[in-house]
Chains A and B, each alone.
Chain A
Amino acid sequence: MSEEHMHHPNYLKIWAMLVGLLVVSVAGAMVGIRVVTLITAFGVACVQAYLVAKNCMHIGAARRFVPYLVATALVLMLLFFSGAAPDVMKPAGVNWVKPAWQEAAVEHDVSLHEARH
């Protein structure tokens, strides 16, 4: 096996934390306030991912190059998102519009409006 034995944290404790976080994210969704739901859901996902990467995947025990590369991959995805979103995510921009998307959004608003009344 590896030269140095890995430091093994108490996996049961981490498992309990992860389950607790899962309960939090489900509970956040039950509250019914959109902002709270989104914050708990994605906040929990990030915390869970960090816990697993640090304690179970032992990312710290890997060569320093590895966490940098993982971080780079994540940054690249952020970069891709920010490069593509101004075109793909928007129904209109400078000197261009997507008529079908705008119509769909209007229809959705109308149906929401009708549903409320």
Chain B
Amino acid sequence: MPTGRLAVWMVVVSEIVVFGGVLASYIMHRLAHDAWSVQAAHTNMWIGAFNTFVLLTSSLFVAFAHKAAEEGDGVKASNFLWMTVAGGTTFVIVKALEWTSEITAGYTITSSTFWSFYYTAAGLHALHVIAGVVILMIIAMQARKQMELHRVELIGIYWYFVEIVWFFLFPLLYIAK
């Protein structure tokens, strides 16, 4: 098994437990406090659903990029990666707009423990998205020059992981009310 792929899986495992710690803590508190449903009602499911869709689509492009890279077509892979970058950027921008509207409505990170968890969990995830976007851009630039094509697959694994975390954050933060 290629070393890089093994290493990325190790990264994924260590990230699973980081998010696992936050989410387990959140779920415990959420189940303990029925009253949080009042707070949770203020999150906007439609924005969350839109962001899920954006992430889904961006990782479709990562899959295409991986396929192109395996065929040795760096330019095509690079093009797909840039589309993923666009998806990730859209996700972050939408998130920023969403937070802006929530903060202006008075729901800040210190409003209640629900909002603390909301901003912490989503913020930690958003940081991972931002980091992913930066790495995607570097790899896209390298791939265009036909360099380090195996890295396309590696960033793909990481990007899917970020997507899977969002699959769980979406119901936890936006649907369960």
The residues of A with any CB-CB pair to B shorter than 8 Å are: 1-2, 5-6, 8, 11-12, 14-15, 18-19, 22, 25-26, 28-29, 37-38, 41-42, 44-45, 48-49, 52-53, 56-57, 62-63, 66, 69-70, 73-74, 76-77, 80-81, 84-85, 88-91, 101, 104-105, 107-109, 111
Contacts and interface: CB of A to CB of B under 8 A. Distances in A.
Contacts of B170: 25, 41, 45
A96 B45 CA distance: 38
B32 A91 contact: yes
A104 B124 CA distance: 28
Nearest 9 A/B pairs, CB to CB: A77-B20, A41-B171, A108-B35, A11-B63, A41-B175, A15-B60, A73-B16, A63-B1, A89-B28
13 contacts: A8-B70, A14-B63, A19-B53, A25-B175, A37-B176, A52-B160, A56-B156, A56-B160, A73-B16, A77-B21, A80-B20, A104-B35, A111-B38
Contacts of A29: 45, 175
Contact of A104 (B33, B56, B161, B175): B33
Nearest to A10: B63
Main secondary structure of the interface of B (DSSP, over half): helix
Interface in B1-46: 1-2, 5-6, 9, 12-13, 16-17, 20-21, 23-25, 27-29, 31-35, 38, 45
B72 to A, nearest CB: 8
A1 to B, nearest CB: 5
A28 B56 CA distance: 19
Contact of B21 (A26, A56, A80, A111): A80
A16 B149 CA distance: 27
Given A41-B175, A41-B176, A73-B16, A56 B167 contact: no
A15 B149 CA distance: 24
Contacts of B53: 19, 22
A22 to B, nearest CB: 5
B32 A22 contact: no
Interface in B138-168: 149-150, 156-157, 160-161, 163-164, 167-168
